[in-house]
Amino acid sequence: MNPRPATLSNFRNLLDRASIGNEMLALAGELFPICRSISGEGLRQTLARLSEAIPLATREVKSGTQVLDWTVPKEWNIRDAYVKDCSGRRVIDFQKNNLHVVNYSAPVRTRMTLGELLPRLHSLPERPDWIPYRTSYYAEDWGFCLSHRQLQSLTEGEYEVVIDSTLEDGAITYGECLLPGQSEDEFLISTHVCHPSLANDNLSGVAVAATLARALAPLPRRYSYRFLFVPGTIGAISWLDRNQSSVAMLKHGLVLACVGDRGNLNYKRSRRGNADIDRAVAHVLKTKGSPFAIRDFSPYGYDERQYCSPGFNLPVGSFRRTPHGEYPEYHSSADNLEFLSADHLADSLATLLEVIDLLENDLRFVNLSPMGEPQLGRRGLVSSLGGRAAKDDHLAMLWVLNLSDGTKSVLDIAEQYGLYVDAIRRAIDALMAARLLDRLNTEAPLPRTLMAHA
């Protein structure tokens, strides 16, 4: 990411998508083998790796702590798990794939017949080569997951069943990275970090969020950025519980998940439906020129469920490509590193940077020559060469001049005008240089000529 550009706009313009996409893929690859869960050493190890790249504080909430309506569960750790047949061969082996054990399985050491074991085995008959991902966080249970072909190959007989796990008082862990800006108003980026060897859900979100934090860290910022890497549900609930008094600082937020598959971008609005974050993402998607979808809020999905619960009702949308559960590989061993695409990770990151750039620059301006149209040609602001780009720039200046009556922000202008935000920024820069436009000073009254109309 060197040399470091001085502004976010420069950073975006210089972004080498191929290399940053491959960096994100490499980070996901490094984290992929770790057996994560909503607590335990795999989660801590993952956060420790992220803290090498970004200033990440690790927080722990003790088992048994009441957080909002939930209780923090016991901490889960696992060393090994297997099912051995009578010849001593591991027919199901956690060491080969950590999805083989139901995440949060209680410790087990026993022998049982195939008939006794079968109710504990989970497979996907419709996808016979894939191992499903199952969890049992809040009810003590145990089980194994395996491909349907593997299940069908098991013969009658006695099996040795071992899950070398612990379920003890400890803590859940989450990571928090705050990048202070000029303002204490915050932009929240939250992603879950509790899935074991699964790539799109959730390492794509982890890789994109960490890379976004690393990109923003050296750049000047108006907003403060808070990145949360939380175990799903209980992590977000714990953070909200501990930060109830300060969530009002949160002006924009996005939950990132499933951002590395080859599907189109798909945005789920916040519960508010028309928050600035909803408008900014919609505007960027509409002007990007690639297919996309926007959906209304629903109380089903990732941690937007918590941030958008009615007591908080925060302006937090959900940014994803193919939504969870809408691709067959979801929650199975087929959601692996090959399912991720460096190009699509980079596209997700670039889109987020554009949304952030838009909101960072969502300021109000005033036209300093509002009586009639100022003569742009005399000031060298209209290209005599003509052409499409010059026409677009001219049109952008007319829109900015016309709408800059002190009541409309850049986002309002972008929405009304329907063009790429960079064109608006170019127009603003040119008009400010020509002293036809100025930042609205919220402390001072509007220019006399505009007061009557604002």
Binding residues for Zn ion (CB under 5 A): 201
Helix and strand element counts for the chain (H, E): 14, 19
Least Å distance, CB 232 to Zn ion, is 7
Residue with the shortest CB distance to Zn ion? 201
Distance between first and last Cα of the chain: 44
**CA distance linking residue 85 with residue 92, whole number of Å:** 9
Decide whether 261 or 405 has the Cβ nearer to Zn ion.
Answer: 261
CB of 441 to Zn ion, least distance (A): 48
Q: Least distance from C-beta 353 to Zn ion, angstroms?
A: 25
Q: How far is the CB of 258 from Zn ion (least distance, A)?
A: 9
* Smallest distance from Zn ion to CB 228, Å: 16
Nearer to Zn ion, 303 or 354 (CB): 303
**Ramachandran angles phi, psi of 283, nearest 5°:** -65, -45
Closer to Zn ion by CB, 201 or 329: give it. Answer: 201
Contact 131, 332 (CB under 8 A): yes
Q: Which is nearer to Zn ion, 201 or 261 (CB)?
A: 201
Could you count the other beta carbons within 10 Å of the beta carbon of residue 395?
14
Tokens 């998607």 correspond to: 285
User: Does residue 257 contact residue 233 with C-beta atoms inside 8 Å?
Assistant: no
CB of residue 163 to Zn ion, shortest distance in Å: 21
- Cis amide linkage into residue 3, ω under 30° from 0: yes
Position 31, amino acid: L
- For 295-354, give the DSSP string: E---S-SSTHHHHTSTTT--SEEEEESSPTTSSTTTTBTTSSGGG--HHHHHHHHHHHHH
Q: Which is nearer to Zn ion, 303 or 405 (CB)?
A: 303
With respect to Zn ion, which residue has the nearer C-beta, 133 or 227?
Answer: 133
